Amino acid sequence: MNAELEPGLYIVATPIGNLGDLSPRAAHVLANAAIIAVEDSRVTAVLLRHIGVKRPMTPYHDHNAEGVRPGLIARMATEAVALVSDAGTPLISDPGYKLVRDARAAGHNVVTVPGPCAAIAALTLAGLPTDRFLYLGFLPPKAQARAAAVAEVAAVRATLVLYESGPRLAATLAALAQGLGEREAAVTREITKRFEEAVTGTLGELAARYADAPPRGEIVIVVAPPGEAAPASQDDAEAALVEALQRLPMAKAVSEVAKKLGVDRKALYARALEMKG
């Protein structure tokens, strides 16, 4: 393989656990880039030691990106600049898209070196439909914002994929169960590592499982798409409306319940007015 790299930006996917997953092409780019933009130099240094190379690194993350980006763009005119995240594919719930955008605007070459991605790996482990899926990243940490985010995707006919941390896992699963119903789901963690696991069940079952035992490691939640549910009864719709009105303004509560249960919005709004009156 030619050691010379053309000037430009190289987006390099790195292992999410097992260092053996680094591709030969990715190793070649990292070994020959003029500089590597990293989230954490300590993490990337471990990977570079694994392939037996030393290269200059510069931090590139949410807190310094605005200041660092112009210098990296300038270097791309004559040098190969590699971008990595701590694990997986850069730009997936990580900073980077502005660097790609500005590199293209400056007329520089942009090359992707694909490889591991936790979201895709979790889909292969979950045993849920993969023909259509929606990646959600991390849900908001606050309960009301999280519930609103879940309500937005309740009617989407696709498998949902999202990232979460151990301490927040049970609360997120409970919010998903509340907003989506008892769908099948999988919690995958430590993918490609020694203790890799994929635990399956309904959202409620998984929320109960992890309520008092938050797991360690990087976590991906995969949720099945909505099934063909029977139309909601009037009692079900009213019960859901009462609950939603306790935490949302009337218009938003009506929209959430109508979308979730597939009931007529106008009739539901009229019932909400009666309740308020």
In a domain, 101, yes or no: yes
Q: Same domain for 126 and 108? A: no
| Domain limit, last residue, from 116, 141, 165 | 116
The pTM score is 0.79
| Domain limit, last residue, from 116, 139, 160 | 116
| Domain limit, last residue, from 64, 90, 116 | 116
Specify the CATH number for the domain of residue 179. 3.30.950.10
Cβ proximity of 59 and 39 under 8 Å: yes
In a domain, 1, yes or no: no
Cβ proximity of 18 and 192 under 8 Å: yes
In a domain, 199, yes or no: yes
Specify the CATH number for the domain of residue 92. 3.40.1010.10
Q: How many domains does the chain have?
A: 3
In a domain, 58, yes or no: yes
In a domain, 2, yes or no: no
Q: Crossing angle for the helix pair 265-276 and 234-245, nearest 10 degrees? A: 60
Q: Same domain for 78 and 27? A: yes
Q: Same domain for 200 and 242? A: no
Q: What is the pLDDT of residues 18-40, one digit of tens each?
A: 999 999 999 999 999 999 999 99
Q: What is the pLDDT of residues 97-148, one digit of tens each?
A: 999 999 999 999 999 999 999 999 999 999 999 999 999 999 999 999 999 9
Q: Angle at the Cα of 179 (from 202 to 185), degrees rounded to 5?
A: 25
In a domain, 185, yes or no: yes
Confidence at residue 1, expressed as pLDDT on a 0 to 100 scale: 47
How far is 252 from 239, CA to CA, in rounded Å?
Answer: 16
Task: Tell me which residue range forms the domain holding 51.
Answer: 8-116
